[in-house]
Structure 1
């Protein structure tokens, strides 16, 4: 059953909710702690940062999706990095090398494509800060496409035997007019973190966008797991060259979730 975009659906079990789950001093202190660090974008060439705009803005998050893009699509160095920086009052106690933690990178693939890869270790509570950094590029782009990957164990389906080892679902904004390439992400499945924040931002500011969610039985970058991504990239509005990769069957066997 589908619902309107952005609806908040409470979990069916009360085990996930507490009747006295209200703000407390501890929660307040936690929120202050979470908000103590800020995100900063650092450009390799400060003079050209205002010229970076593209027809397609591609946001990639999730281990399999990120690794596939890095191995198969990327052919240039990053033009900018986004770092998590601690407040200045901590500078005297901590070395600068420990203050800045890279959370995302921007790549200008060609005159039409701007790619942003977000690390899977990024704190999702700061997703809004990351979106604030990349929102100018999403606003200028004609197409905003989000690619993310999750374990198939997190996908809810009545009969899991019907599902392939690796498959894609999609979720789009109301004003997205592109082709429907895959089935709609049905309830109770959800998108979280940076992909959800980016799609919600596009919905609010009326920027056409679509998110493709890859579900995989094995979080390993092998030929079977990444086949849906290969097909997806070939269908994007802007063509991207994909390099061929040779995968190690021995490595796949060791990390597979399948049991004989």
Structure 2
């Protein structure tokens, strides 16, 4: 188009418009993928019919003792020394999906979810075994959703947790013969005596154990975390036994099996998918 010399015309580039349109489509697709991923990573609670009906009626679980076991040694300890009794029933589980979730269809239910067990003789005692990994972005919603189902008044929380001895920091040289050992950390309203020394600074508690302890501190719930520092990366009988004093403090609420079944113990320590990189 002919114009006078020096005249400025408003020119729109079709190429630029096309690029803007493509970016808009890409942004919408990214947003949709993000929403789908968030939905997939959402934590879901599944209770049996009795508990579900009670919760739907506005009633919370009357719980005096909530024992949470995080990690293979802690969770396997409960399987070997506590849950072998016929006085326990499975009442629900929490299902999660994240980057460490196994794709195998043959994966056992106990390793694909966090399982809840309730004492038949004393329904106020609740146990949760966490065999699976809970990602950082799932910790808050896991804690909020689980504790939203529990009556806070009179609630006592005991957390058993696994940790590698390489994460333990001390000024003294720590020889391998001293592992496994137990350390504790509790909320301000916890008034009982712990079964082991307190966790020394600058050591910290992380993951689900820290999320639960922080929640209990905020809502003034009596809670204590017992963390086992082990030199074995995976379930082993010696590390499991380290948790015994922690549950012995609960008295009659939890009965420990003094002579656990050899078959149950062997099954708990046999893992083919856990590889130790402690000495690499």
Do both share a fold (TM > 0.5)? yes
Q: In the aligned structure 2, how far is the partner of 1:219 from the partner of 1:188?
A: 22
Q: In the aligned structure 2, how far is the partner of 1:38 from the partner of 1:256?
A: 30
Instruction: Find the residue that maps to 1:189 and give its secondary structure.
Output: coil
Q: In the aligned structure 2, how far is the partner of 1:156 from the partner of 1:44?
A: 43
Distance 1:199 1:258, change over 3 A: closer
Answer whether contact 2:194 2:246 (CA < 8 A) is retained: no
Distance 1:118 1:223, change over 3 A: closer
Aligned to 1:61: 70
Aligned to 1:132: 144
Q: 1:148 aligns with which of 139, 161, 173?
A: 161
Distance 1:140 1:35, change over 3 A: farther
Aligned to 2:113: 103
Aligned to 1:170: 184
Number of positions where the alignment pairs a residue of Structure 1 with one of Structure 2: 217
Answer whether contact 1:217 1:257 (CA < 8 A) is retained: no
Answer whether contact 1:131 1:198 (CA < 8 A) is retained: yes
- Runs of 5+ unmatched residues, structure 1: 1-24, 87-99
| TM-score scaled by length of structure 2 | 0.66
Q: In the aligned structure 2, how far is the partner of 1:43 from the partner of 1:111?
A: 15
Q: In the aligned structure 2, how far is the partner of 1:118 from the partner of 1:141?
A: 24
Distance 1:225 1:85, change over 3 A: closer
| TM-score scaled by length of structure 1 | 0.71
Alignment of 1:1-16 (within 5 A): none
Higher gyration radius (CA): 2
Aligned to 1:211: 225
* Larger mean Cα displacement after TM superposition, 140-149 or 235-244: 235-244
- The question of 1:47 aligning with 2:46 is answered no
Distance 1:235 1:256, change over 3 A: farther
Answer whether contact 2:42 2:96 (CA < 8 A) is retained: yes
**Deviations for 1:151-202, whole angstroms, at most 9, x for unmatched residues?**
1121112210287221110001112111132111112211111110110011
- Runs of 5+ unmatched residues, structure 2: 1-26, 99-108
After TM superposition, the runs of 4+ consecutive aligned structure 1 residues lying more than 4 A away are 28-34, 254-259
